[in-house]
Amino acid sequence: MTEPNRPDPDALLAELQRAERESRLGRLFIFLGMCPGVGKTYAMLQAARQRQKEGVKVIVGVVETHGRSETAALLKDLEVLPRKMLEHRGHTLEEFDLDAVLQQRPELVLVDELAHTNAPGSRHSKRHQDVIELIGAGLDVYTTVNVQHIESQVDIVRQITGITIQETVPDSILDHAHEIELVDLSVEKLLDRMAAGKVYLGDRAEWAVSNFFKEGNLTALREMALRFTAEHVDRDLEDIRRAKRVSTAWKTNARLLVGVGPSPYSESLIRWTRRAANRLSCPWIVAWVEGSKRLAPADEERLARSLALARKLGAEVVSVTGEDVAVSLLQIARDRNVSQIVVGKPGPRAWWHRSLSDRLVQESGDIDVCMVRPELASGSARADKPQAVELPVGLVSEYVWALGLTFVVALLGWLLLPYTGYVFAGLVFLLAVIVAAVRLGRGPVLTMAALSAFTWDYFFIPPRFTLHINQPHDIVMFVMFFIVAFSMGHLTTRLRQREQAERRRQRQTAALLRVTQSAALTAEPDRGLEEALRAINEFLRADAAVVVRNMDRSLPHAVHEASTLQPSAKEWGVINWSYQNKQPAGRFTDTLPESEATWFPLQTATSLMGVFGVRLSEKALMDFTTRQSIEAFALQLALVLEKEHFIFAVRHAELMEQSERLQRTLLDSVSHELKTPLAVIHAALEGLSGVKNPYIDEIHTASARLQRVVNHLLQMTRIESAAVQPVREWCLLGDLIEQVRQSVGEALDNHPLAMDIPADLPAVKLDPNLFSQALANILHNAAVYTPAGSPLEIHAALRHGGTLAVRIADRGPGLPQDGEEQVFQKFYRGPGSPTGGTGLGLSISRALLRSLDGDVKASNRPEGGAEFVITLPVETLTTPSLP
C-alpha cells in the first residue's frame, strides 16, 4: 500500500544536503533597486547600523557614497576597512581588500555594487566572486545591485533603454541569496532627486536625464524589479511547499487575451480561453476590434451573443476601434500586460494572403501566441462553405446608381468627344468615381471604377470599340486611370466610413454627456432624471423606464413618473428578477428572453439603486455598441441615484445625531432631576410605615413604578456613554435566576413561573449584575404584557461550544406583526400596551447583553405567546466527580 503524501527520497536527501551546505555558508542579503539613486546603499547602511546595535560585529568592506552627504553620514559609527591599492599602467587604483576581511573575520561585511568589475591585479575579476568567497568562508554579506545588471535581464533592458549593460552578475548568485530586499521608489520622486542633484552631479546628471533616466525607462525598470522580486518570493514559497509536502497548485501572474468577432467560432474560442484561465488561475480579456464598416444584422447578432457569453463566463470585455485587427489586438495586449494571446488556427488560404494568426506570431514580440482549433457554434453554417448572399435593398440601389452614373458620364463624353477628345472623357470618368465615393459604398464605387475604365477604353481610346490600345502613352494613361480610380474610390470610401463611425461615436459620447449633465447637475433630482430619460429616448429611439428602489431597499410597484415605458404584469416579474439577481434580463438575454424590454440593474460598486429598462423596436437588434451605450447610461443613472441617496443619508444622519444628542441630554437631565424628589418621597414613606392608610399604599406603588422609570433612564444614559464595563465572576445560574425572580417582585404575583434549570448545569463565568438586570427587564416585560394568571416559563441550557441559552416564554397576545426587532428599539411601545412604562426595558436588556458579547432575539410561539431567547458565550467550571 502506498502513502499519497510520502516524500520523495531523492528530494528529501537533496533538501538535507542543501540545509547542511547552507549551515556552513554565510548568508547573503541583497538590496535590489531599479536603477541608481533609489537608496539601496542608504538602506543597506541603515540595516547594518541596526545589526551593530544588536551586538553584531560589522565591517564596511566597500561602500560608494557618490558624494551623497546623507549616505556618508551613516558611515560615522561603522568600522570602515581601508581600500587596497593596486598599480595599473601608471595609475593607483583603490579596490576592496578581500584578504583583510578574511583575516579579521567579522560577522557581517558590507560590499556595495555587486556588479562592479575589479581592477586588474585583484584576485577575482568580478566583485560578486569576492562575495561568493566571503560567503563560503562563513561570513554574512550585505550587498547592493540594480535590476539592469542581472544577467537574465540584460536583453530586456537593452530593448527598453537602447543601452547595453556591460557589468552583470549571474542569476545563480541571486538564487542563493538568503534574502532579497526591494528598495523601491516612485519614478516621480526619483526624478525629483535627480533634479535636486542627489543622484548625479554636473554633466553626468544632464547626460543621465537625457538618455537613461527617462520616465518610460524608469517605469519599465521599476516593473522589472518588482517582478524579479516577486518571482524570487514565489521560488522561496515553492521551497517551503516542497519541504512541507503541500500538494496544492500555486497561482500565476499570467493574463490571457482572446480576440472575437462576428465569427461562428468565437464562442468556442471564448470557452477555451475560460478553461485555460481557470487552469492558470489568472484573469482573461475578450477583445472586439470595431472597424468603420457596419456589420450585417446577422453578424451583429452573432457578435452580441459571443460578447454576452464572455460576460457570463466572467471575462473583462474590451472594445477598441481600428481598421487593423492585429495591430489593435497587440496594442491591447501590451497595454494590459497580457502574457498570452489566444487565436484560432487559420484555414486554407491563398499563398499571398497572411492570416491574422500569422501576423500575430510575427509581430507579437515577447507575447506568446496560442493557436487552438475552435469548434463551430451549434446552429451555425461552416465558414468554409459558400453562403447564399442576399443583398440589402439599399446596397442594390447603390449599384444601380453606380451603373446609371457611368452611363450618364459615358453619354456626355460621347457627345463631347468631337470637341474635347478622349482624354477629357477619361478625366470626367475619374471625377465621377471620386464624386460617387462620397455617397456610395466601397463595392459600388470599385465596380464603377472598373466599369468606367473599360468603358473609356472601349468607346473613347483609339481604336474605338475594341479593348486594344496602340499608343504607349494611351496604355500608360489607361493604367494610371485604373489605379487612380480604384485608389481614390477606395480611400474616399474608407474616409467616409471612418467619418460615419466617428459621427456615431461622437453622437454616443454627446448623449452620455447629456445624460450625465441632466441627471447630475440639475438641482431637482426628479427633473434631472426626466431630462436624462428624454435624452436616452432620443438617442436610442426607444422607450425607457427607471424603477428606483425604496429606502428599505425594496422595489416599488410603479416606474418613475418620467418613464415612457409602462411595464405589464409580466414585465414586473422580469424587473424583480433582474433586481434580486443583479443581472440583465429580458429581451436579447438568456433570461426571460420573451420579454418585450431589456432590464439592467442600476448597480454601482457599493449599492443597487434600482432597475433600468429599454424597449427597442421589434426589428431592432441590440448589437455591441447599443448594449455598451445602454450599460453606460445605466451606470450613470445608478451613480446619480447613489449620490442622491448618500446626500439624503448624510442629512438624515446629521438630524439623527442632533436628535440623539438632545435626547441624551434630556434623559440625563430628567433622570437626575427626578432622582432627588424620589429619594425624599421614599424617606417620607418609610417614616409613615406604621400608618394604615390606603392612600399611602397607592403612593408607595406609584413611587416604585416611577423609581423603575428613573432607573431605566439612568441605565440607558450609562450604556450610551460607554460607562458599562463587564466584571465577570463565577456564578450558579439557578441561584442567579432565583434572585432575578425575587427582584421582579409584585409583577410576578399573578403569574405562575415554571423554571427549568438543569441540576447538573456547571458554574458559569459572567457579570451577574448586568445579566440580572437584562433578565429582570425581559421577565418584567413578559409579566406586564400578558393577562393575569397566564403562566411564564424559564428554560436554561448549555449549548455546544460554551454558549449559554436562556429562554423566557409567555402565553400572552404575542408580538405585533413584523415586530421581532422593533420591540428592542428605544421608547417602542406596541399596540394595546398598558399604561405606564417608557419602552426602554427591552432596549436596555439587549444593550447589556451585547456588552457581554451576547444577544437576545424575540419571536412568536406557534402555540401562542412570545418567547425571548438569550444567547451568551460563557466559560464553564466543571466539578470533578468523587470516587
The answer to whether the beta carbons of residues 595 and 585 sit under 8 Å apart is yes
% of the chain exceeding 70 in pLDDT = 75
Residue type, 288: W
Which residue's entry shows cell 480610380? 485
Helices (H), 563-693: 569-581, 624-687
* Predicted pLDDT at 569: 84
Range of weakest confidence among 266-270, 719-723, 773-777 = 719-723
* Predicted pLDDT at 877: 75
DSSP assignment of 479-495: HHHHHHHHHHHHHHHHH
Report which of 409, 425, 419, 420 is spatially closest to residue 461, judged by C-alpha positions.
425
Residue 211 has pLDDT above 60, yes or no: yes
Q: Average pLDDT for residues 654-672, to the nearest whole number?
A: 66
Q: Average pLDDT for residues 375-400, to the nearest whole number?
A: 54
Could you report the per-residue pLDDT of 778-800, keeping only the tens digit for each? Answer: 888 888 888 888 889 999 988 87
Q: Can you tell me the distance from the alpha carbon of 284 to that of 340, in angstroms, rounded to the nearest whole number? A: 10
The answer to whether the beta carbons of residues 257 and 216 sit under 8 Å apart is no
Residue 535 has pLDDT above 60, yes or no: yes
* Predicted pLDDT at 883: 35
Q: Can you tell me the distance from the alpha carbon of 625 to that of 631, in angstroms, rounded to the nearest whole number? A: 10
The residues, any chain, with a CB within 8 Å of residue 110's CB and separated by 6 or more, are: 44, 45, 48, 58, 59, 60, 61, 62, 63, 78, 141, 142, 143
Q: Average pLDDT for residues 460-485, to the nearest whole number?
A: 76
Residue 237 has pLDDT above 80, yes or no: no
Question: Can you say how many angstroms the Cα of residue 162 is from the centroid of all Cα atoms in its chain?
Answer: 36
* Predicted pLDDT at 47: 92
Q: How confident is the model at residue 232 (pLDDT cuts 50, 70, 90)?
A: low
Could you report the per-residue pLDDT of 72-82, keeping only the tens digit for each? Answer: 888 888 899 89
Range of weakest confidence among 52-66, 200-214, 384-398, 852-866 = 384-398
Q: How confident is the model at residue 389 (pLDDT cuts 50, 70, 90)?
A: very low
The residues, any chain, with a CB within 8 Å of residue 843's CB and separated by 6 or more, are: 716, 824, 825, 826, 827, 828
Report which of 624, 60, 761 is spatially closest to residue 305, judged by C-alpha positions.
624
Q: Can you tell me the distance from the alpha carbon of 335 to that of 338, in angstroms, rounded to the nearest whole number? A: 8
Q: Bigger pLDDT: 60 or 157?
A: 60
Q: Average pLDDT for residues 580-596, to the nearest whole number?
A: 80
Residue type, 263: S
Q: Bigger pLDDT: 308 or 246?
A: 308
Average pLDDT, the chain: 77
Q: Average pLDDT for residues 628-653, to the nearest whole number?
A: 77
Residue 50 has pLDDT above 70, yes or no: yes
Q: Going by CATH, does the domain composed of 11-243 fall within 3.40.50.300?
A: yes
Q: Average pLDDT for residues 519-534, to the nearest whole number?
A: 71
Q: Bigger pLDDT: 291 or 201?
A: 291
Q: Average pLDDT for residues 675-689, to the nearest whole number?
A: 69
Q: Can you tell me the distance from the alpha carbon of 596 to that of 606, in angstroms, rounded to the nearest whole number? A: 30
Could you report the per-residue pLDDT of 555-585, keeping only the tens digit for each? Answer: 888 888 878 888 888 888 888 888 887 888 8
Rg (CA), the chain: 43
Q: Please classify residue 294 by burial: count the beta carbons closer than 10 Å to its beta carbon, then call 0-12 exposed, 13-18 middle and 19+ buried.
A: middle
C-alpha grid cell for residue 343? Answer: 487565436
Q: Average pLDDT for residues 9-13, to the nearest whole number?
A: 52
Could you report the per-residue pLDDT of 13-40, keeping only the tens digit for each? Answer: 455 555 554 556 789 999 998 888 888 8
Q: Average pLDDT for residues 264-285, to the nearest whole number?
A: 80
Q: Domain 726-877 adopts which CATH fold?
A: Heat Shock Protein 90 (3.30.565)
Which residue's entry shows cell 547626460? 207
* Predicted pLDDT at 667: 60
Q: How confident is the model at residue 305 (pLDDT cuts 50, 70, 90)?
A: confident
Report which of 717, 706, 703, 715 is spatially closest to residue 774, judged by C-alpha positions.
715
Report which of 321, 703, 282, 722 is spatially closest to residue 502, judged by C-alpha positions.
321
Q: Can you tell me the distance from the alpha carbon of 403 to that of 427, in angstroms, rounded to the nearest whole number? A: 18
Same fold flag, 11-243 and 726-877: no
Residue 309 has pLDDT above 60, yes or no: yes
Residue 51 has pLDDT above 70, yes or no: yes
Could you report the per-residue pLDDT of 696-746, keeping only the tens digit for each? Answer: 777 776 676 666 666 665 666 556 555 567 888 888 888 888 888 887 877
Secondary-structure class of domain 256-372 per CATH: alpha beta
DSSP assignment of 797-831: EEETTTEEEEEEEE-SS-PPTT-TTGGGSTT---T
* Predicted pLDDT at 449: 78
Q: Can you tell me the distance from the alpha carbon of 188 to that of 703, in angstroms, rounded to the nearest whole number? A: 74
Q: Average pLDDT for residues 666-673, to the nearest whole number?
A: 59
Q: Can you tell me the distance from the alpha carbon of 244 to that of 87, in angstroms, rounded to the nearest whole number? A: 54
The answer to whether the beta carbons of residues 332 and 285 sit under 8 Å apart is yes
Q: Taking the domains of the chain in order of start, what are their residue ranges?
A: 11-243, 256-372, 415-521, 726-877
Q: Can you tell me the distance from the alpha carbon of 409 to that of 428, in angstroms, rounded to the nearest whole number? A: 7
* Predicted pLDDT at 140: 92
